[in-house]
């Protein structure tokens, strides 16, 4: 999962820029902001039940939580550049250096990332923050406009009304047995008393990425469905709502990767979701009109791999099977079900992109390879060879608990589809991640 948001440039009228060159330093006008705080009113009207649950939350944080380790200590996690920021309404920017390329006119630069709506009382992981879009719009003849808005997810909306955080986190809620059991009981009671309904409405943060699918802008987080967003010509950011690509499965809580892959030639988007009940992996396609196509369930995935990203080429979808897994036996030990399984041999699955089932799927073991992000992939040798450029943590065991120690590095992965062999080549010894390319080269060879 991203620790800093992904970003790309787009036209608010839904056409992509081919390139984006930030040649200017932009600063918002120093206008004093007086943002309305809706929580004061909500808190004053807080129902008795919500107050009761909050008092139990406070008790758990005060008396049952052991001292917080750095990865879930908000004083550490939210320090420095990761400190939360307020929303900012559309605000004109001054150009202080350089000049804007004319080709940017009519477009926007968008970033997504975690930004907690409330200062957490107890454990908080970097991945737990509510999604916020930061947008620079280049539509006004008077200059760029900067705007930051929370993505109004179901979680955000419920907690705004309640006045404090109530949703659990898979990364930080499990903090030794006593605190974990207590939090589990509070969650159960809240769901039972309709404080919130994660089954019907999801619990995602939409805090990882943004993507254009079928010509529409979405904010994504892999624990939930995407949220449809809109950037207005005036530079404001509006949440249109949780978008259910899976209306054919109304009884299952669906999710999808935050890193779908768009084919610039066909307009199709390819995606996948992992789940905790079989099939543990499902691949699917969304056509150029935004209509989801039938699932391709992958039953040969033997454990829930928290695969975060994948690759798309002209003919193949390539899915990593990582050592980061979901293991619910950890919960009874008071630990997060998301853990690193060092005994598992990671694999890479290669399947034709238009496959209707997994009969042509090829799994290739790849010791030491946990693809976190895939910058691009393409084919060579008439499709016999697949080349991927990916980031791979040097220390996968740190991927959840010590992000600054995971040290991802860029590798070129060469897969011979016919021989089912895989070779890794380190591209740089620098710590690098989340590489971005010109999206018109997505799935095609790039430099």
- Which residues in this chain contact Fe ion in the complex, by CB under 5 A? 2
Bridge partners of 149?
133
Q: Quick count: other Cβ atoms within 10 Å of Cβ 57? A: 19
CA dihedral of residues 416, 417, 418, 423 (deg, nearest 10): 20
Distance separating alpha carbons of residues 49 and 369, to the nearest angstrom: 48
Closest CB to Fe ion among residues 134, 183: 134
Closest CB to Fe ion among residues 137, 305: 305
Closest CB to Fe ion among residues 2, 128: 2
Minimum distance between the CB of residue 372 and Fe ion, rounded to whole angstroms?
A: 7
Distance separating alpha carbons of residues 249 and 347, to the nearest angstrom: 29
Contact of 237 with 230, CB cutoff 8 Å? yes
Distance separating alpha carbons of residues 70 and 56, to the nearest angstrom: 24
Distance separating alpha carbons of residues 99 and 89, to the nearest angstrom: 24
Closest CB to Fe ion among residues 182, 442: 442
Bridge partners of 8?
110
Minimum distance between the CB of residue 93 and Fe ion, rounded to whole angstroms?
A: 27
CA dihedral of residues 59, 62, 66, 68 (deg, nearest 10): 120
Minimum distance between the CB of residue 77 and Fe ion, rounded to whole angstroms?
A: 18
Contact of 177 with 60, CB cutoff 8 Å? no
Closest CB to Fe ion among residues 73, 130: 130
Minimum distance between the CB of residue 308 and Fe ion, rounded to whole angstroms?
A: 6
Minimum distance between the CB of residue 208 and Fe ion, rounded to whole angstroms?
A: 5
Minimum distance between the CB of residue 189 and Fe ion, rounded to whole angstroms?
A: 34
Closest CB to Fe ion among residues 2, 57: 2
Look up residue 441 and give its DSSP letter: G
**Helix, strand and coil in the chain, % to nearest 5:** 20, 30, 50
Q: Quick count: other Cβ atoms within 10 Å of Cβ 183? A: 24
Minimum distance between the CB of residue 2 and Fe ion, rounded to whole angstroms?
A: 4
Closest CB to Fe ion among residues 2, 411: 2
């Amino acid at each position: 999962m991203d620790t800093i948001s992904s970003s790309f440039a787009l036209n608010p009228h839904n056409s992509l820029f081919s390139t984006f060159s930030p040649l200017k330093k932009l600063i918002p006008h120093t206008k004093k902001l007086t943002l309305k705080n809706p929580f004061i009113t909500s808190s004053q009207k807080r129902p008795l039940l919500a107050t009761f649950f909050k008092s139990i939350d406070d008790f758990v944080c005060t008396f049952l939580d052991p001292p917080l380790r750095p990865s879930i200590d908000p004083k550490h996690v939210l320090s420095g550049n990761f400190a939360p920021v307020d929303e900012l309404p559309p605000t004109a920017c001054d150009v202080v250096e350089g000049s804007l390329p004319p080709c940017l006119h009519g477009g926007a630069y968008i970033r997504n990332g975690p930004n907690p709506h409330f200062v957490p009382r107890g454990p908080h992981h970097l991945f737990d923050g509510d999604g916020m879009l930061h947008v620079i719009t280049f539509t006004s003849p008077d200059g760029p406009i900067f705007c930051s808005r929370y993505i109004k997810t179901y979680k955000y909306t419920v907690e705004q009304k309640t006045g404090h955080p109530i949703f659990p986190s898979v990364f930080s809620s499990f903090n030794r047995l006593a605190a974990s059991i207590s939090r589990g009981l509070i969650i159960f009671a809240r769901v039972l008393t309709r404080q919130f309904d994660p089954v019907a409405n999801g619990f995602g943060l939409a805090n990882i990425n943004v993507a254009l699918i079928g010509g529409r802008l979405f904010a994504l987080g892999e624990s939930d469905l995407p949220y449809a967003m809109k950037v207005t010509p005036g530079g404001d950011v509006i949440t249109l709502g949780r978008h259910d690509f899976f209306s054919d499965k109304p009884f299952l809580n669906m999710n999808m990767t935050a890193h779908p892959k768009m084919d610039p030639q066909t307009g199709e988007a390819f995606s996948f979701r992992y789940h905790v009940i079989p099939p543990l992996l499902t691949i699917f396609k969304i056509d150029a009109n935004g209509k989801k196509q039938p699932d391709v369930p992958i039953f040969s995935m033997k454990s829930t791999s928290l695969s975060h990203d994948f690759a798309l080429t002209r003919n193949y979808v390539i899915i990593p099977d990582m050592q980061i897994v979901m293991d619910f036996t950890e919960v009874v030990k008071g630990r997060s079900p998301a853990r690193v399984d060092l005994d598992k041999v990671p694999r890479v699955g290669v399947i034709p992109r238009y496959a209707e089932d997994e009969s042509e799927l090829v799994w290739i073991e790849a010791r030491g390879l946990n693809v976190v992000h895939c910058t691009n992939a393409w084919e060579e040798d008439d499709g016999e060879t697949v080349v991927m450029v990916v980031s791979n943590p040097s220390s996968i065991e740190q991927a959840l608990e010590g992000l600054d120690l995971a040290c991802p590095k860029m590798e070129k992965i060469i897969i011979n589809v016919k021989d089912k062999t895989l070779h890794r080549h380190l591209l740089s010894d620098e710590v690098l991640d989340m590489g971005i390319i010109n999206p018109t080269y997505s799935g095609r060879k790039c430099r």
